[in-house]
Amino acid sequence: MQAATMDPVEEPPSILWGLDPIFSAFARLYVRDILQMTESTQVPGIYFYKSHPIYKVDVLGTVVYKREREDFFCYGVDDGTGVINCLCWKNDLLKEEEDPGKSTGKHSDVSYGNFNPVAELKKLKQAQQKRCRLEIGEVLRVRGPVKTSRQQREIMASTYYKVNDPVMTAQIAWMMEVPQLYRECYDKPLQLQCSATGDSAVSTLSKAVNIIKDFFKQRSVTKFRPYDIQDLLQPLIYSQAQTASEDQEPVAGPSSCQQLRQLLKKVLDILQDEGVIYRKVKSQDEVYHVTAQDKDLLLVVKDIIREDSKREKYAEKGCHILHILSAARQRHSLNISKAALEQVLKFLECSSDIVSTSDTHYTMF
């Protein structure tokens, strides 16, 4: 089969491939699609299923032919959509099996009661060998990078083994899972764009979150109201509107002010979920505190750990995070989340005020 190549205009830049999670995974594609994938014009050995860059795959199918060489097996694997050649290297166990003289006479057949370690080891090796040596009609699972050799597409197996599937449980599960992966991942277009500097485009929401976080750091903000930071996001709304007007016909939708308020609300929700900010008192006057800059909260948490670490119950391992959270809610605010407390503990530990004795326990120096 002649390897097809992708049109350079359609192919995303290689610097962006790592942003596609499928690129780092063993893609569970049908053999038909593996055989028809187009090869990259930028990097030989990288292939594209639609817009997704792929170089390693995961296949389950029936062995329909086999060839054996000194160092490897060639198995033809049929998954019902096509047949692909899989090059499976022999491991040391299979080579020992072919040259049994290597291992004879090295061990004594000493038995310990009813247990003979040499015999059991031999049985284990035989079982492993059977998993690697397949016959026509048996089910093989193989994972590895895709290669084109002599104009034929094949898989260079990094892992392969026989699947014992007498009632087709594994094959049925595979047949149910793969179509779902196609619907949710493989058949969805890869949304990657480049800016003028070659950087990948980040969603407006992610940009907005980063803008607010940077503002907190640069200005050492301790508390704020939403309207204090709203104008920081205005350029994003303007840029988004400008891009939309260039790409498509204008349509009725939310006004710029409404879009700005919606974006700000989403940003505040994300920052609260991450524990970056919290509301000490929930009232009509929307005041948010920046967790790591709230000196009162930092002091309360330090006092709790200092006092309770002296108690016999916490003397050995320190205070558990849930105990600290409960005490901080009683002393400071009922609205403190676990995520916010984790931000405080992280800050205090970086400042060498406290030390973690485990993932969930903290004590004073």
Q: Which domains are assigned to the chain?
A: 14-186 (2.40.50.140), 204-274 (no CATH), 291-364 (1.10.10.10)
pLDDT single digits (tens) 156-191: 998 898 899 899 999 999 999 999 999 989 998 876
Model pTM?
0.48
pLDDT single digits (tens) 273-297: 999 999 999 888 899 999 999 999 9
pLDDT of 149 reads: 83
Q: What's the Cα-to-Cα distance from 16 to each of 13, 21, 22, 299, rounded to whole Å?
A: 6, 11, 12, 45
∠ CA 337-343-346 to the nearest 5 degrees?
140
Separation of alpha carbons 293 and 306, rounded Å: 20
Check: CB of residue 355 under 8 Å from CB of residue 345.
Answer: no
Supply the DSSP symbol for 200: B
Helices assigned H by DSSP within 103-199: 117-132, 169-181
pLDDT of 109 reads: 53
pLDDT of 18 reads: 84
Separation of alpha carbons 3 and 47, rounded Å: 10
Say yes or no to pLDDT of 81 above 70: yes
Question: Which residue would you say has higher pLDDT here, 17 or 75?
Answer: 75
Separation of alpha carbons 263 and 208, rounded Å: 8
Cβ–Cβ contacts within 10 Å for residue 179, how many? 12
Supply the DSSP symbol for 40: P
CA atoms within 13 A on the CB side of 184: 8
List beta partners, residue 148: 153
Tokens of 162: 């026989």
Which among 80, 69, 84 has a CA at the least distance from the CA of 157?
84
